[in-house]
């Protein structure tokens, strides 16, 4: 029996659905990072918010089809996975030779316990930050964003943990290392959105020129200085550097039915890769960082009587990070309440890939002054293992 003829044209939404479903089983590198403070305050909800110059960075279908609009944004988020920073602080400042002599038995026991904790799969520290701007007009958007991703993990030596002077087992010869990895992407993007059916259906695409730098280095866990989380995230963008130029493509869709918006996006479809330096730590030689594919869906609804907007996003892909074994697949959302010129927001987000699935809480506010809007959004977990802050300004004419 002859196969049925292949249709020459498909509706835009059907084509997007095929791409999204195909990406559902994919693995991505780098977690999805919202560009704007509004999205941060709404628990990361971004791709279903509707037309907006800031949301257009996250979903090209959200590029506004109206007059000139400009936005600038900057932010940083850090997150700890498992129990990582406290054990690392236990190790810092200890002398392995002194530990091997058993002159401080309690310190020795704490050190061995800390090394075993750091060896747990997925245990580590990750951060991501951004600084960028975008200009939109008539369905076109040009943006430049400096993205930064960092990771800190421990490569533990559990063979050399015994007392004494035996070179095969003594803690005096322990070479456990704190491994820093970083990726910085200078991203120049051009996006275009097109609407159909009286604006109810919008599709969009982005093309990115990516100027990437990877960083890698190792330090002894007994000498690493553990400071503030934001400082650790910035320190990962040092070490052996390698630059590489690549490109990527994003596609997105947005359905608008009155107060309801439903969106979806796939970013980094072609999965650009950025290699580590050949003269870096042995564990990273010959390896690279892959950026994409990231697939996400989201929705929002405006409740006009009470003036509330409810929004949520869900990652279809489980995104790898610069920490081996640490993956991120976010489910998050929030509520926005407008009071005259002031907007108040709150929400929550959970990493569905984490063992404990502890939620992070988000919040923020916005102020409208004529054609200008200023938003601030924060990210916090009660044990302080997740901290973040983003500030965004927008102007529309």
The C-alpha atoms of residue 238 and residue 42 are separated, in whole angstroms, by: 32
The neighbouring-strand residues paired with 71 are 134, 394
SS3 state of residue 110: helix
**Burial of residue 310 (number of CB atoms within 10 Å: 0-12, 13-18, 19+):** middle
How are beta strands 124-137 and 386-396 bridged, if at all?
unpaired
223 DSSP 8-state letter: T
Going along the chain from its start, the domains and CATH numbers come out as 12-396 (2.40.160.40)
Mean pLDDT of 204-224: 96
Write phi, then psi, for 20 (nearest 5 degrees): -65, -45
Supply the pLDDT for residue 340. 85
The C-alpha atoms of residue 5 and residue 221 are separated, in whole angstroms, by: 62
The C-alpha atoms of residue 37 and residue 367 are separated, in whole angstroms, by: 12
Lowest mean pLDDT among 5-14, 142-151, 314-323, 327-336: 5-14
CA distances from 337 to 21, 30, 256, 305 (A): 33, 31, 20, 11
Q: 166-190 as b/e, with b when 16 or more CB fall inside 10 Å?
A: eeebbbbbbebbbbbbbbbbbbebe
Supply the pLDDT for residue 271. 93
The C-alpha atoms of residue 151 and residue 216 are separated, in whole angstroms, by: 10
Supply the pLDDT for residue 342. 95
Supply the pLDDT for residue 270. 94
pLDDT band for position 24 (50/70/90)?
very low
Supply the pLDDT for residue 118. 95
Look at residue 20 and tell me whether its pLDDT is greater than 90: no
16 DSSP 8-state letter: H
Supply the pLDDT for residue 339. 87
Lowest mean pLDDT among 51-55, 102-106, 121-125: 102-106
Work out the mean pLDDT of the chain and round it to a whole number: 89
Supply the pLDDT for residue 28. 54
Supply the pLDDT for residue 105. 74
Supply the pLDDT for residue 352. 92
Write out pLDDT tens, residues 53-90: 999 999 999 999 888 999 999 999 998 888 899 999 99
Look at residue 9 and tell me whether its pLDDT is greater than 70: no
Q: Between 384 and 370, where is the model more confident?
A: 370
Mean pLDDT of 182-188: 97
Mean pLDDT of 326-347: 94
Look at residue 389 and tell me whether its pLDDT is greater than 80: yes
Look at residue 2 and tell me whether its pLDDT is greater than 70: no
Mean pLDDT of 177-192: 97
The neighbouring-strand residues paired with 251 are 205, 266
Q: Model-level pTM?
A: 0.89
The C-alpha atoms of residue 12 and residue 16 are separated, in whole angstroms, by: 6
Write out pLDDT tens, residues 266-314: 999 999 999 999 999 999 999 999 998 899 999 999 998 778 999 999 9
């Amino acid at each position: 029996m002859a196969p049925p003829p292949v249709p020459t044209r498909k509706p835009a939404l059907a084509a997007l659905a095929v791409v999204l479903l195909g990406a559902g089983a994919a693995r991505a590198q780098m977690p999805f990072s919202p560009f704007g403070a509004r999205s941060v305050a709404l628990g990361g909800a971004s791709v279903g918010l509707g037309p907006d110059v800031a949301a257009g960075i996250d979903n090209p279908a959200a590029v506004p089809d109206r007059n000139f609009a400009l936005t600038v944004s900057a932010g940083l988020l850090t997150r700890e996975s498992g129990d990582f920073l406290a054990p690392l602080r236990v190790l810092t400042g200890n002398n392995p030779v002194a530990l091997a002599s058993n002159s401080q038995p309690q310190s020795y026991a704490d050190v061995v316990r800390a090394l075993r904790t750091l060896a747990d799969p997925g245990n580590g520290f990750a951060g991501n930050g951004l600084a960028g701007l975008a200009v939109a007009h008539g369905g076109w958007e040009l943006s430049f964003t400096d993205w930064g991703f960092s990771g800190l993990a421990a490569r533990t030596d559990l063979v050399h943990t015994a007392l004494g002077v035996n070179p095969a087992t003594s803690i005096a010869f322990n070479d456990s290392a704190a491994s820093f990895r970083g990726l910085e992407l200078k991203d120049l993007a051009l996006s275009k959105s097109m609407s159909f059916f009286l604006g109810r259906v919008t599709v969009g695409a982005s093309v990115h020129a990516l100027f990437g730098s990877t960083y890698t280095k190792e330090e002894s866990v007994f000498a690493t200085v553990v400071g503030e989380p934001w400082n650790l995230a910035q320190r990962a963008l040092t070490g052996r550097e390698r630059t590489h130029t690549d490109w990527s493509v994003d596609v997105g869709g947005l359905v608008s039915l009155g107060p309801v918006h439903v969106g979806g996006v796939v970013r980094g479809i072609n999965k650009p890769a950025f290699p580590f330096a050949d003269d870096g730590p042995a564990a990273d030689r010959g390896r690279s960082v892959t950026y994409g594919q990231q697939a996400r869906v989201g929705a929002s609804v405006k409740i006009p009587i009470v003036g509330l907007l409810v929004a949520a996003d869900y990652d279809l892909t489980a995104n790898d990070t610069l920490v081996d074994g640490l993956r991120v697949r976010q489910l998050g959302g929030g509520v926005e309440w407008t009071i005259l010129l002031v907007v108040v927001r709150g929400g929550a987000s959970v990493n569905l890939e984490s063992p404990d699935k502890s939620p992070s809480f988000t919040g923020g506010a916005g102020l409208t002054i004529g054609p200008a809007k200023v938003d601030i959004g924060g990210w916090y977990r009660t044990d302080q293992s997740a901290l973040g802050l983003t500030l965004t300004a927008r102007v529309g004419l």
